[in-house]
Amino acid sequence: MGNTDIKVPAVGESISSGIISLWHRQEGDYVRAGDALFTLDTDKVSTEVAAPAAGVVRIGVPADREVKIGEVVGSIEEAPEPAAAVAPPSVAAPSPAAPAPPPAPAPAAPVQLEPQDRRFTRKKLSPLRKKISTQLVAAQRNAAILTTFNECDMSAVMRLRSEVQEAFQAKFGVKLGFMSFFIKAVVDALQSEPQLNSRLDGDELVQNHFYDIGVAVGTERGLIVPVVRDADRKTFSELEKDLLYYSSRAREGAITIEDLQGGVFTISNGGVYGSLMSTPILNPPQSGILGMHKIQDRPVAVDGRVVIRPMMYLALSYDHRVVDGKEAVTFLVRVKDAIENPLRLFVKSQP
């Protein structure tokens, strides 16, 4: 019987190494071809690596160790699949022996302070967390980031969702959420203020003529930004299906590098975690990012009267080297108007 090497697979053109964050099987376990063997964390994605053959697992490299693409990290030893264990015949239990007297109580241990090494733990940053930290610092160092704020009344979009939700879900098999409205509002604003849909490349300004919108997703391993392609051409149901697909892929650790590349603008929703206000950081090389926040009932003035409305603060961070303040403010007002008049977006997107 022969052995099959377990190799670290290539997961992207620019990735040369990663860390085995977790072995899903232990030494000596039997696996079938295609079973999950280990999770490989890189600076861009986390990938589950499947067994290349059936047999007994032999682990050559332990978890939390950095490995190179193509490196052999173990092997699978050919072996027949073990049969189900057969329970041994029952044997009558021996008669219980007479008890021994209870032991004398032990003296109370003296009080001791916690050892210093139990007061904290130390471990290496994952490649993804290291990449995130590097990019965030680089974004603030290499761009002139400025943030402008506004707020929007969510009453109309909440009312529209409530009115069409049942029919929408029955027809398309997905729920109508808030994010699809914001994606459409951002596309509308990018078309109105195209400077936000451009980026610097050396001493050249590159103007994008497509609308691939990144949507930030928080995972256990860190923040990732999968990209919804051609958002200008998609209906609300298609956007919701894309968002559901990426959400499930992120939970499973199955996001690929291709899912993360090529976005022209990013939307980040801190409101799902309860954030009321924030200043989002640019996702280079993009020139703009919209921060959504918690919907909160607040008193506002409407037609000379104070009323309670569900309000959301919006924050637009932008690269001031590319975008002027007037363009940024106009862009955010356009997003606000689209969300407060969502029927226009909804009707416009229908085939």
Q: What is the pLDDT of residues 179-237, one digit of tens each?
A: 999 999 999 999 999 999 999 998 999 999 999 999 998 877 778 899 999 999 999 99
Encoded amino acid at 44, one letter? K
Q: What is the pLDDT of residues 93-116, one digit of tens each?
A: 555 555 575 555 555 556 555 555
Could you give the domains of the chain? Answer: 3-77 (2.40.50.100), 129-349 (3.30.559.10)
Bridge partner residues of 204 (DSSP): 201
State how far Cα 54 lies from the chain centre.
32
Q: What is the pLDDT of residues 137-149, one digit of tens each?
A: 888 888 999 999 9
Choose, from 5, 230, 297, 324, the residue flagged as catalytic: 324
Predicted TM-score of the model (pTM): 0.74
Q: Which residue has the higher pLDDT, 163 or 12?
A: 163
Mean pLDDT of 30-46: 85
Mean pLDDT of the chain: 87
pLDDT score of 238: 96
Q: What's the pLDDT band for 85 if we cut at 50, 70, 90?
A: very low
pLDDT score of 151: 97
Beta strands in 42-191 (DSSP E): 46-50, 55-59, 65-68, 72-77, 145-153
pLDDT at 349 over 60: yes
Q: Which residue has the higher pLDDT, 120 or 164?
A: 164
pLDDT at 87 over 50: no
The residue behind tokens 């264990």 is: 85
pLDDT score of 107: 57
User: For the CA atoms of the chain, what is the radius of gyration?
Assistant: 28
Is 320 one of the catalytic residues? yes
Is 64 one of the catalytic residues? no
pLDDT score of 138: 86
Q: What is the pLDDT of residues 233-270, one digit of tens each?
A: 999 999 999 999 998 888 777 888 889 889 999 999 99
The residue behind tokens 């697979």 is: 9
Q: What is the pLDDT of residues 269-318, one digit of tens each?
A: 999 999 999 999 999 899 999 999 999 999 999 999 999 999 999 999 99
Choose, from 35, 212, 320, 337, the residue flagged as catalytic: 320
The residue behind tokens 């295609």 is: 34
Give the integer Cα–Cα distance in Å for 331 and 196: 8
Mean pLDDT of 76-90: 68
pLDDT at 120 over 80: no
Give the integer Cα–Cα distance in Å for 46 and 254: 7
The residue behind tokens 């300004």 is: 205
pLDDT score of 94: 52
Q: Which residue has the higher pLDDT, 235 or 14?
A: 235
